[in-house]
Amino acid sequence: MPVSFLTSTQREQYCNYPDELSPEDIGRHFHLDDEDIRVIATKRRDSSRLGYALQLTTVRFLGAFLDDPTGVPAPVVQSVAKQIGVTDPSCVTAYTKSEQRWRHTAEIRQRHSYLEFQALGVQFRLGRRLCALCWTGTDRPSVLFEHARGWLFDHKVLLPGVSTLERFVAEVRARMERRLWRLLVRDVTAEHRQRLDGLLKPAPNNRLTLLEVLRKGPVRTSAPALVQTLERIEDIRQLGIRLPLGQVPPGRIAVLARFANAARIQAIARLPELRRTATLVALIHSLEASAQDDALEVLEIVLRDLFARAELVARKARLRTLKDLDAAAMVLAKACHMVLNPDLASARLRERIYAVVGEDELLDALDCVNGLVRPGADVYYEELSSKVASVKRFMPTLLRVIDFETNEAARELKKALIWLRDQPDHDPPLEIANKSWKRHIQDIDGSIDRNAFAFCALEKLRDAIKRRDVFISPSWRYADPSAGLLQGEGWQQAKPIICRSLDLPSEASLALAQISKELDDTYRAVVARLPTNKDVRFESFTGKKELIVSNLDKLDEPPTLVVLREAVRLRMPKVDLPEILLEVAARTGCMNGFVHLSENAARATDLTTSLCAVLLAEACNTGPDPFVRADVASLRRDRLLWVDQNYVRDDTLLSANAVLVSAQGQIPLARTWGGGDVASADGMRFVVPVRSVHAGPNRGPLVFSAITGGTQTQH
């Protein structure tokens, strides 16, 4: 890693006073106690006393001595001079020319036990601390630098030069990276190295390398795409790469894997052998987890579409057959009316029904009703059965590749998936099937419809994945939710602290008893108020009592609100959107934040008009065509394309937005509503440049949203 990683601003702020110090900061950090004043009083001249006091307060505040002892903010000098009784603070200028400043530095270091960075044991202790942070975390070098500075300050170690500390942090971080690489490649054999190096070569009959093929996730949601995703998992597993168990922090592996997943193949191939092999090992481990996550995501989408389409087809078919169902119901109703007529003799009832309705007509009506009527909790198996071929296309590969683990709630589902995978001779476990599914799975004679059982298991699998009753390993998104929970002795040690922080009893039975009592008291209070509550009542429907809650009464708008709304409407000017943006730019000067790519100060004529047109074209996703005017120089096509190319960037957008937020904060109404850092948008539109599993059309209306800050988007 580079040794120089600090910015120029960070270098300037290191061991220097900030530009401004509040009175609170001065009172907190530059107060001298009685012992300090007693020691300072032993110095003879005012310049010596003030110089000594400034060096003492400086080392306490900054953790280091200044090269120029007088380079202290004037408010600090005045505060310190007042505490030690020096009436003329300007006398401190003579202190820089005396030899006393060096003796005072040594005296302060000895009296207050300050250590040098090169002192025995300092670098070892700091290095051990930084090693732990580098090994368990993924902090940036600048963050580690600030942590090192804080550690030195807390342990009263004088801060070294910025380059010295920067180089020390870089060396520690590089040493821990080399340790990580060696640990990752410890179990990699020569055969594994050959396989990993082969990933960087083009695949047979393909312009892409094998690594690029493995990194590419699914872009479609279909049964063939799911099979390809599952085959990708098998290809990754065939490499045979395994990590040392329990020794490598997952965060460090994730960092290496993210780099390898986004870097160009040529960049990975140019890495040193040790780092290249370790990076590929981390990537392969991460790829298996992400590939399994991709497979379950595609599976969820495929199953959702499968069952949703079956339900939609069933509903359309039911709408098409409503006329036939009504006609059959009228025939049966006529027959039932005669059956229920007490004036007709029961002896010749059938003859009378046949005479009025007709035996064949009655049988046809009965068959029609039996064929069209569906139970309340129908599973639409008749429509699903047409997709058997599609399910058989991915089902065997899915059950072979993915090893589903379940909790106690989905234990029967685990048995069903094993039965579907192995296809044994005995009957499947029907415990997962409810009443609606059982009538399709098992016939009256006891025979089993394996296809119906497969659809039932897939439906239960889809629901279990949503509830996280089913999980896989390795995985980032579908791992065992309870894997990170404390268990055994670890939980017993942390239990008192956690329960105390949550204000809960240490025994679960006591907590449940409190919740049960609170729930029971609430129910009893509600029941006690029911007789006097006019908005709640019980009514009987088909022999069952149901709770009825009355609708809330509509609140009429007061006349004053109606008048106010109309007055506001009349005062609002009817202006076009470009006019609003131009007025905002004129009032706030936000367009001054857009500078040319070359950072020069030259400005084109009517640049604000061109910028507003480009921003509107981006915000509305219309392109520049609606804003092009050949008769206006600032709105010509070549001018707009030039402005878009050279002025609209992330940094210029941030600068313009900062001006807008600042201007908004000056509005009294905005200050009343809040700090101005929260926005409301009616609609968003995300443009997906490539095909993605999660990209789909938004059938709702597209509502115009915010202007500044970039392009609207669409999901």
Instruction: Determine the pLDDT at residue 239.
Output: 83
Instruction: Determine the pLDDT at residue 713.
Output: 37
Q: Exposed, middle or buried, 565 (CB in 10 Å: 0-12/13-18/19+)? A: exposed
For residues 309 and 299, what is the distance between their CA atoms, to the nearest angstrom?
15
Sign of the four-CA dihedral 218, 224, 230, 234: negative
DSSP 546: E
- Say if residues 715 and 695 touch (Cβ distance below 8 Å): yes
Q: Which amino acid is at 367?
A: D
Instruction: Determine the pLDDT at residue 214.
Output: 84
CA angle 256-258-260, nearest 5°?
70
For residues 52 and 107, what is the distance between their CA atoms, to the nearest angstrom?
10
Q: Which positions of the chain have pLDDT values less than 70? A: 1-3, 243-246, 319-322, 324-326, 328, 331-335, 337-356, 359, 369-379, 598-603, 674-690, 694, 696-715
Q: How many residues does the chain have?
A: 715
- Say if residues 104 and 55 touch (Cβ distance below 8 Å): yes
Sign of the four-CA dihedral 615, 616, 621, 625: negative
For residues 454 and 420, what is the distance between their CA atoms, to the nearest angstrom?
7
Write down the residue that tokens 């939710």 correspond to: 481
The upper half-sphere exposure of residue 124, i.e. CA atoms within 13 Å in the direction of its Cβ, equals: 3
Strands (E), 247-304: none
Instruction: Determine the pLDDT at residue 251.
Output: 80
| Beta bridge partners of residue 539, listed in sequence order | 546
Taking the alpha carbons at both ends of the chain, their separation in whole angstroms is 39
For residues 164 and 169, what is the distance between their CA atoms, to the nearest angstrom?
9
Q: What HEC string does 473-515 produce?
A: CCCCCCCCCCCCCCCHHHHHHHHHHHHHHCCCCCCHHHHHHHH
Rg (CA), the chain: 39
CA of residue 208 relative to chain centroid, distance: 31
For residues 256 and 125, what is the distance between their CA atoms, to the nearest angstrom?
27
Phi, psi (degrees; rounded to nearest 5) at 406: -135, 160
- Say if residues 197 and 279 touch (Cβ distance below 8 Å): no
Write down the residue that tokens 């476990």 correspond to: 429
DSSP 202: B
Q: Which tokens sit at 53? A: 């006091």
Maximum pairwise Cα distance, the chain: 136
Instruction: Determine the pLDDT at residue 714.
Output: 38
For residues 249 and 179, what is the distance between their CA atoms, to the nearest angstrom?
12
- Say if residues 40 and 32 touch (Cβ distance below 8 Å): yes
For residues 67 and 73, what is the distance between their CA atoms, to the nearest angstrom?
14
Write down the residue that tokens 């069933």 correspond to: 314
Phi, psi (degrees; rounded to nearest 5) at 94: -70, -20
Tell me the C-alpha to C-alpha distance, in Å, between residue 669 and each of 664, 672, 673, 676.
9, 5, 6, 10
Instruction: Determine the pLDDT at residue 709.
Output: 38
This prediction has a pTM of 0.63
Instruction: Determine the pLDDT at residue 612.
Output: 92
DSSP 583: H
For residues 153 and 119, what is the distance between their CA atoms, to the nearest angstrom?
15
CA of residue 474 relative to chain centroid, distance: 20
Q: How many helices (H) and strands (E) does the chain have?
A: 31, 4
How many C-beta neighbours within 10 Å does residue 441 have?
Answer: 22
Instruction: Determine the pLDDT at residue 339.
Output: 64
Phi, psi (degrees; rounded to nearest 5) at 99: -80, -10
CA angle 256-259-261, nearest 5°?
105
For residues 125 and 358, what is the distance between their CA atoms, to the nearest angstrom?
101
Instruction: Determine the pLDDT at residue 564.
Output: 93
Please name which of 257, 278, 277, 276 lies closest in space to residue 268, comparing C-alpha atoms.
276
The set of residues, in sequence order, having a beta carbon less than 8 Å from that of 411 and lying 6+ positions away, is none
Find the helix packing angle between 141-154 and 162-184, rounded to 10°.
Answer: 120
Cis peptide, bond prior to residue 474, ω within 30 of zero: yes
Instruction: Determine the pLDDT at residue 613.
Output: 92
For residues 634 and 208, what is the distance between their CA atoms, to the nearest angstrom?
45
